[in-house]
Chain A
Amino acid sequence: MSRVVHYLNQFFAGFGGENAASTPPGVKPGAIGPGKKLQELFGTDHEIVATVYCGDDLAAASPEAVATILDLVAQQRPDIVLAGPASTSGRYGVACARVAAGAARAGIAAVASMHPDNPGLDDAGAAVVIASGASVRDMGTSLERLARAARKRLAGESLTEADGRIGRIPRRNVLVDRNAAGRAVDLLLARLRGEDAPAEVPIPRFDHVTPAPPVADAGKATIALVTESGLVPVGNPGRLESARATRWLRYSIEGKATAAAGEYASVHGGYSTVWANQDPNRLLPLDVARELEREGAIGVLHGEYLVTTGNGTTVPNARRFGVEWAAELRRAGISAAILTAT
C-alpha cells in the first residue's frame, strides 16, 4: 500500500473562505474534505496518510510558507503528493503547483490538479498536472481523473494527454551532431520546398491580462508604487539580481519626499542606468506621487515600494511576482498600484 499525502487550501480543509486565507501551514491525519472521496477511489490500494493545508494568501505569496508545507509533506515519507483539485482558483492553483513542483524537486512523485486556465499551471515545474473541471461542481469527475493519474504514476507509468495531462513537458538541453547554423539552413530550404519540416521551438501562447477598471475615487485611494526597474537603496542590501530575478524586495518610503540621487540606484542589467541613477524618481516617481498626495489627487501613498528586476525573468517567476504582489497589496488594503516598467 502506497503512502499518499494530500494538499488542500484552507477552504477545503475546513477552516473557512477568504476570512481564513492567512491560515498558517498545518497537517491533519488521514483524508479530509475532497480527500475522503479520493480515499474511496483508492480503496485499500493506497492510503492518504495525512492532509497538509495552508491559507491561499500565504501559500501564494510566501516562499517560506511553501517551504514549511514541503517540510510537513516530507515528514510523512509519502510515495506521492496530490494537490488540489484547484479548479480555476488562482492562488490555490499557484499553491498546488508550487507544492507539487517542490516535491518533484525533492524527488517525491507529485500530481497537481487544476483547470487548464488556472494561472498556477506554469508554476508546476517538472511536476505532473492533470486537468480538473472549472468549478467545485465538477469535483467528482476531477477527483476520479486525479485518482486514476495517481494510480498510474505510482505504478511507474508515464502520463500523457490521454490521462488529462496539461501544462508543459520539461525541455532539456541536448547536444546534437550539427550546429545551429547548419540546422537553420536545412529547415529554411525544406520549408521553401514546401515540406512541413518540424521547427525546434514551440510558439508560446501568452494570456492577455484585462486591465482593471479605473479607481472610482482616487482621492480616497491608497496607492502603491511598484516597479521592475531594479531600483534599490545604494549598496543593494537585499542583493537583488541584475538579471533572471528569482525574487522581489520591499523598501520603506515612509516619510520620504523624493527618491534622491545617491540614496537609490538601479541594479538592472538590461539598460543603461546612468540617467535613472541621476534622478531615481525617473524609475520610482516618488516626488510626483507625494505632490499628488499633498494635492489630494490621491488619498495616501503606501509606506513601502515593491521592486524586482525585469530582465530575462522567466514567465513563471514573473507570474509568481504578480500573484505575490497582488496578494501583498490586497492584504495591505491598497486600491491601486502604479507599476513603472523599463
Chain B
Amino acid sequence: MAGSALKLLSHRVTTVTLGPATRYDAGVLTVSATDARRALAHAAIAECRVSWASPGDSARIVKVLDTVEPRTKAPGGGGIFPGFLGSATSQGHGETHVLSGVAVIAAGYLPRAQEAVIDMSGPGAALTPFGSTHNLVVEFTPAEGAPWENVDAAVRLGVLKLSALIAEAALGAPPDDVVGLPAIPHTRASGLPRIGAITNLQTQGTFKDVFVRGKSFGAASPILIDPNELHDGAIVSGQFGHPALKNPTYMHQNHPVVAELRRRDGKDLEFAGLILAPEPVEVEQKERVAAQAAALCAAAGFQGVVITKEGGGNADADISLKIDALVDFGIGSVGLFAEMAGAEGTAPSLVVPPERGTALISTGNYDEVVRLPAVARALGGATVDVAGAAATAEMELPTAVLYCSLSPLGAGRLTCREAA
C-alpha cells in the first residue's frame, strides 16, 4: 500500500487557562473565548461558551457530542481535516503539530444524540479516555429557527476550526516529542504475518454519521486508506448514538488499532494497511459491504485482520459478517465487541455472533451499572435525563452512558470476566 511519511510533532500541555489571547508556552495553553466565538461563528449558532474541565476536577461533562484533538499542519490549518478546513485531498504526509493531553469537546442537545457523560474525577474518570485529558468544553445555543441539521454541521465545523486554531499557537514552539511514521510499503519479505485492520464507521443518517475527507461515508463502498491520513483528520465523527460505543474524531486521530499495528510493525507482524467500511442499516447492504471488504483484504494481501465497529447491537453484524466472509479467503480475523450482557452480566453477550469464527475480544459490558458521586460543577447541560437527575447529582448509570468507556476501537482496558 502506497503512502508517504508523516512526522508528528507533539507539544505536551500541562496547564490550561482562558485568557485574552490564544497562546502556547512551555506546556501552558491559554485559549481566548473571543477566538472560540470567532471559530464557531455561524448563522445556525446564536452563542457559544467555552470552559475547561481538567483531570481531578470535581466536574461532569454531560450531553457530550464530538471530541477532537487540536492539530494543525501550518497556519490556517494547512490541510488538516481535509474536506472541512482544507481541500478534500489526501493528507497524511509532511508535518503535523499535535497538542497532546488536550481535547476540544462539543456538548449540548442535538436530536437523536444519546446522553453521554464524562466525569473528571472518581470511578467514572477511570473508565473514559477523556477523564485524563484537559477538556475545552464548547457549549452552544442554536440560532432561533435554525434547522437542527444546520446546527449540527455548524458545531462540527466550528469545533474543527477551533481545534486547528488552538494547535497553531504551538507552531513556533519546540516539540516535546517527534515521531516519524513512514509510508507502508506494498510488499516486504520479512516473513512476518501481514496484519491489517477494518474499521467500520457507523453511517446511519444525520446525527449518526461519519465523514471521510469531509463527505458522509454512508453510501460508500469499503476503501483502502493510508493510515497516516487518520492522523490528519481524514475521519470526522458526526455520530451521537451509543456514547460508550462511539468513536469520536479524537479516537480516529489516535486510532488504537493502528497505533498497536504501527508499534509492532517489523517486530512480530507487518502492518499491511487499513480498510474503512460503512455500517449501513439494511441487512443486504451489510452483507454486500462485508463481501467487498473481505475481497479488498484479499487483494491487499492481508493474512490477518483486526475488525472494529461503532455503535450498538446491529453493528455486531457488521463485524460478524466480515469475520465469516474472510473465512472464504482463508484470512483469519479477530473482532472487538462490547458485551450487552444485562445489568447482572448474565444475558447473552452479543446480538449477532459470527457463525464461522470465535476470536472475539471484549471491551466490557455495556449494561453494568456504575455509581457516580455528586460533583461540584456540570458542563454541557443541567440534567442527566436517563438518570432523572440534576447533572451534578450522585447517580447510577449503565456503563453504556459513559463516553467511550467501551471504546470499540480498543482504547480501553475494560473487559469481562466470570465472577467467581
Q: B-contacting residues of A (Cβ < 8 Å)?
A: 101, 122, 124-126, 158, 167-185, 187-189, 191-192, 197, 199-206, 241-244, 269-273, 311-312, 314-317
9 A-B contacts, Cβ less than 8 Å apart? A122-B346, A169-B346, A175-B413, A176-B414, A178-B413, A180-B256, A201-B337, A206-B348, A269-B112
Residues of chain A lying within 8 A (CB to CB) of residue B346: 122, 124-126, 167-171, 316
Contact check: which of A184, A197, A242, A312 meets B306 at CB < 8 Å?
A: A184
Within the assembled complex, what's the spacing in Å between the Cα atoms of A174 and B417? 7
Q: Does B353 contact A (CB under 8 A)?
A: yes
Residues of chain A lying within 8 A (CB to CB) of residue B372: none
Whether the Cβ atoms of B410 and A181 lie closer than 8 Å is yes
Residues of chain A lying within 8 A (CB to CB) of residue B313: 311-312
Whether the Cβ atoms of A185 and B419 lie closer than 8 Å is no
Within the assembled complex, what's the spacing in Å between the Cα atoms of A171 and B338? 12
Residues of chain A lying within 8 A (CB to CB) of residue B343: 314
Q: Does B398 contact A (CB under 8 A)?
A: yes
Whether the Cβ atoms of B359 and A191 lie closer than 8 Å is yes
Residues of chain A lying within 8 A (CB to CB) of residue B410: 179-184
Q: Does B266 contact A (CB under 8 A)?
A: no
Number of residues from B at the complex interface, CB < 8 A: 75
Within the assembled complex, what's the spacing in Å between the Cα atoms of A207 and B242? 27
Q: Does B95 contact A (CB under 8 A)?
A: no
Nearest 8 CB-CB pairings of A with B: A181-B410, A204-B348, A180-B410, A171-B345, A181-B256, A201-B360, A200-B362, A314-B342
Q: Does B22 contact A (CB under 8 A)?
A: no
Whether the Cβ atoms of B361 and A269 lie closer than 8 Å is no
* Distance in Å: Cβ of B241 to nearest Cβ of chain A: 6
* Distance in Å: Cβ of A213 to nearest Cβ of chain B: 27
Task: Tell which of B11-19, B24-32, B363-371 binds the partner.
Answer: B363-371
Whether the Cβ atoms of B417 and A201 lie closer than 8 Å is no
Whether the Cβ atoms of B332 and A311 lie closer than 8 Å is no
Whether the Cβ atoms of B367 and A185 lie closer than 8 Å is no
| Beta-carbon nearest neighbor of B358 in chain A | A199
Residues of chain A lying within 8 A (CB to CB) of residue B241: 269-270
Task: Tell which of B71-79, B181-189, B257-265, B290-298 binds the partner.
Answer: B257-265
Whether the Cβ atoms of A180 and B413 lie closer than 8 Å is yes
Whether the Cβ atoms of A185 and B195 lie closer than 8 Å is yes
Whether the Cβ atoms of A201 and B361 lie closer than 8 Å is yes
Within the assembled complex, what's the spacing in Å between the Cα atoms of A11 and B114? 46
Contact check: which of B204, B358, B411 meets A203 at CB < 8 Å?
A: B358
| Beta-carbon nearest neighbor of A190 in chain B | B359
